[in-house]
Structure 1
């Protein structure tokens, strides 16, 4: 378990991360505890990342919705953020504490006990999706002592959910791993041939157990590579060439679709952050908004 703390002109923050228990398997990626005591509201853009995130807040609510939403964003004390290929916005009053659970989509299929395409682009509370198990997780986390106790609760609840759930097809989890390792650049025809399935069957199983089509999943994972390269200082022309875009205009269109801004605007938002904003190392998941 690793923890970091810091102070900015806005207040204090604490982040604690740990890998899950070994019995849970590779698809349970990471847990993260968070505590923010900021003196003004916080607002951040959340990007498609190829993960399914479950969040339990132990005090106060977050308000989450699509980036372009005109109506007020609904409040959540717990949240399942389904598979998506467009950005969302989350905001809160500055005081927040809770636990995040990060899952590969094929593992979320087992944990959540639902076809993943039904969750595409949606945000639901844990009790809405999991029923009594969702309420139990929130109650037990509120009662647990310290971060280690909270993470042990998550291990226990997930293990029971996985044991009772449907396992993803080995071909789906394997194909997802190949797409992840290649940043979405492996040809989909080759991927289907390697599974022994037709392209149509692969697409049907992907929608059921990942929530996105293989083509859309590849686009999300490729954008993660784009954003990593841009935030590391690579020139857009080099990024476009390395990531298989026709030209810079094509790159700019996809960046805007995934982040709600141009590459330059997105990098400017990232530079404003005085504290860590990405939920998982190696992925560009967020940027702060004013």
Structure 2
């Protein structure tokens, strides 16, 4: 069984049908495996979403329909199953309107254990998880096919609990001190200074940076940037002003917040907050992390943008 009851949201309308299913992993997998989200979309039009950096790695186990993922400075990737490690840049995901699979959110140190790959090699990248050099008995493609064949989400999440538990037990152990340092960063919203973080876990700053690069991907300073901005997005979506948000999240001033926001999302805080309030955002789009502001629905027409977030300054079109 999974660690919690399965919650589902579904609907049907002129734009098509959709279903989301949510569950927590079994307690023995937590906190490394953070959440499960089942997805089944049967939309009448292609879909595009802007995905902003979050404090997690993402494993999408696709059931057959491909996703095209674009990131500034890199050629687009078209994949059925996807692994995205730590990132400081936005990405745009596109599909033809039909999509099904399960999205697993992982702490970066848990992803290091499951895949045995130094996480700094995967920063700001999207890859086919079966191309990662791991020694797992079951491939990701085989797991996705087995999940797709099961009759309900509860059974799928239960199989995931079993397989991910086996992968973790056979994987490369992560450092307990890295996990503790990551937890402190998350709990403080990236506000704890790096020297104090190193002191808390009993390492030098240099050693902390080296272990973070290996098992988190981002250094502690870059990881703190992502977590600080994640908190800022949430506060802005809740209606806080940019000035209040900057002060609460530890930015020097509003201009500092705006610069960081633009660098990591492709748009300004005002544009992001306004876009989150547009009616189209109420359509079937679930943020990757519960209670967080992580995604925006974009225009389905590729000519409206030249890279992640570029549509804001060119057309202002969302949806």
Structure 2 length-normalised TM: 0.87
- 1:97-138 alpha-carbon deviations (Å, 9 max, x no partner): 111111111111111111111111111112212575222212
Q: Mark the CA change 1:138 to 1:263 in structure 2 (over 3 Å): closer, same or farther.
A: same
Alpha-carbon shift at residue 11 of structure 1 (Å): 2.0
Matches within 5 A, 1:25-174: 25-66=30-71, 68=72, 71=75, 73-129=76-132, 130=134, 133-174=139-180
Alpha-carbon shift at residue 267 of structure 1 (Å): 2.0
Q: Mark the CA change 1:206 to 1:56 in structure 2 (over 3 Å): closer, same or farther.
A: same
Q: Which residue does the alignment assign to 1:286?
A: 295
Q: What is the CA–CA distance in structure 2 between the aligned matches of 1:10 and 1:288, rounded to whole Å?
A: 14
Q: What is the CA–CA distance in structure 2 between the aligned matches of 1:53 and 1:227, rounded to whole Å?
A: 19
Q: What is the CA–CA distance in structure 1 between the aligned matches of 2:262 and 2:223, rounded to whole Å?
A: 17
> Which segment is superposed worse, 55-64 or 77-86?
55-64
Q: Secondary structure at the match of 1:37?
A: strand
**Preserved CA contact (<8 Å) 1:49 1:284:** no
Structure 1 length-normalised TM: 0.95
Ranges in structure 1 where 5+ consecutive residues have no aligned partner: none
Q: Secondary structure at the match of 1:91?
A: strand
Alpha-carbon shift at residue 5 of structure 1 (Å): 1.1
Matches within 5 A, 1:232-271: 232-271=238-277
**Preserved CA contact (<8 Å) 1:240 1:248:** yes
Alpha-carbon shift at residue 70 of structure 1 (Å): 7.6
**Preserved CA contact (<8 Å) 2:185 2:224:** yes
**Preserved CA contact (<8 Å) 1:277 1:287:** no
Q: Which residue does the alignment assign to 1:217?
A: 223
Q: Which stretches of structure 1, 4 residues or longer, exceed 6 Å deviation after superposition?
A: none
Q: What is the CA–CA distance in structure 1 between the aligned matches of 2:269 and 2:14, rounded to whole Å?
A: 27
Q: Which residue does the alignment assign to 2:282?
A: 274
**Preserved CA contact (<8 Å) 2:233 2:294:** no
**Preserved CA contact (<8 Å) 1:269 1:289:** no
Alpha-carbon shift at residue 225 of structure 1 (Å): 0.7
> Which segment is superposed worse, 146-155 or 273-282?
273-282
User: What is the aligned-residue RMSD (CA, Å)?
Assistant: 1.5
Q: Secondary structure at the match of 1:177?
A: helix
Residue of 195, 208, 213 corresponding to 1:207: 213
